[in-house]
Amino acid sequence: MGPKGARTPPPRPHRRLTWQKLTVMPAMLTTVLLATLVWFRRADLDAVSRNALSGGQVSKALWQHVELTVISTFFVLVIAIPLGILLTRAAFRRATPVVMALANTGQATPAIGLLALLVIWLGTGMKAALIGITAYALLPVLANTVTGLKANDPTLLEAARGIGMSSPGVLARVELPLAVPLILAGVRTALVLNVGTATLAAFGGGGGLGVLITAGITTRRMPVLILGSILTVTLALLVDWLASLAELLLRPRGLAVET
């Protein structure tokens, strides 16, 4: 109780890093990878399986997959966030339905079909794969950026303008910080989408862990298929965990709530 019987407002709940958040997922993923390694050491691989996994092909495929994910996510961020900001400005709001419809079309299109069209147009290789992955993951970041900026309290924006802030200042110091939680959630979704979609890059000559999965299916070698699948799932879970940490660390103070 405060002075004169006034009730002291309760502290604002917040999310914070805990030891469970920092250790449970890495421990689980490490256990899965170690179990997979032990299984492979004991597995009786034939010549076809050994050929598919030899010569550093596993590490090469893993690195290509990480590269596809990182580069495509970079392009998603540099396209979707500025475009989302632009679409919430008064001069461009009429274009919002058209742009969002195009973004929805990009994600509604089957990823393998989109990649096939890009390969026909651009030829095989990483370029076509990156464009396809980027187009497929634009929607979550774009939609969350637009939604986050539109959800800002107009009275806060008016108060910021009332104290003399310019439009860029209001955007940078008020609108974007308030929209950060939703934008980060969209980025997290896009990252996981990119890891999954990158497996299809193998069909267009873009490399990645999809090469192992495809080789396992076409040669009917379960060890190769299982290894490619486990590495893909592990990478997706690792990326999701890292993104969840980034959400906590990058979220402006006072905006996060316990869930």
Residue 256: the pLDDT is: 42
When pLDDT is averaged across residues 86-110 and rounded to a whole number, the result is 86
Residue 254: the pLDDT is: 54
Q: What is the pLDDT of residues 20-34, one digit of tens each?
A: 888 899 999 999 999
Lowest mean pLDDT of 35-39, 119-123, 208-212, 250-254, name the range.
250-254
Residue 85: the pLDDT is: 94
Lowest mean pLDDT of 6-20, 187-201, 205-219, name the range.
6-20
Residue 214: the pLDDT is: 92
pLDDT band at 6 (very low <50, low <70, confident <90, very high): very low
Residue 248: the pLDDT is: 85
When pLDDT is averaged across residues 219-235 and rounded to a whole number, the result is 91
**Rounded to an integer, what distance in angstroms lies between the CA atom of residue 48 and that of residue 32?**
25
When pLDDT is averaged across residues 179-187 and rounded to a whole number, the result is 92
Neighbours of 170 (CB within 10 A): 19
Q: What is the pLDDT of residues 77-97, one digit of tens each?
A: 999 999 999 999 988 888 989
**Rounded to an integer, what distance in angstroms lies between the CA atom of residue 194 and that of residue 75?**
11
More confident residue, 4 or 41: 41
Give burial (CB, 10 Å; 0-12/13-18/19+) of 202: buried
pLDDT above 70: residue 11: no
Mean of the per-residue pLDDT values of the chain: 85
Domains of the chain: 20-28+52-250 (1.10.3720.10)
pLDDT band at 173 (very low <50, low <70, confident <90, very high): confident
Residue 259: the pLDDT is: 35
Q: What is the pLDDT of residues 131-150, one digit of tens each?
A: 999 988 999 999 999 999 99
Residue 1: the pLDDT is: 46
Length of the chain in residues, anyone? Answer: 259
Residue 8: the pLDDT is: 45
Q: What is the pLDDT of residues 45-71, one digit of tens each?
A: 888 888 888 878 889 999 999 999 999
Distances in whole angstroms, Cα of residue 43 to Cα of each of 32, 40, 57, 227 = 16, 5, 18, 12
Give burial (CB, 10 Å; 0-12/13-18/19+) of 209: buried
Residues in Cβ contact with 52 at an 8 Å cutoff, skipping those fewer than 6 apart: 212, 215, 216, 219, 221, 224
Residue 122: the pLDDT is: 86
pLDDT above 70: residue 2: no
Residue 15: the pLDDT is: 59
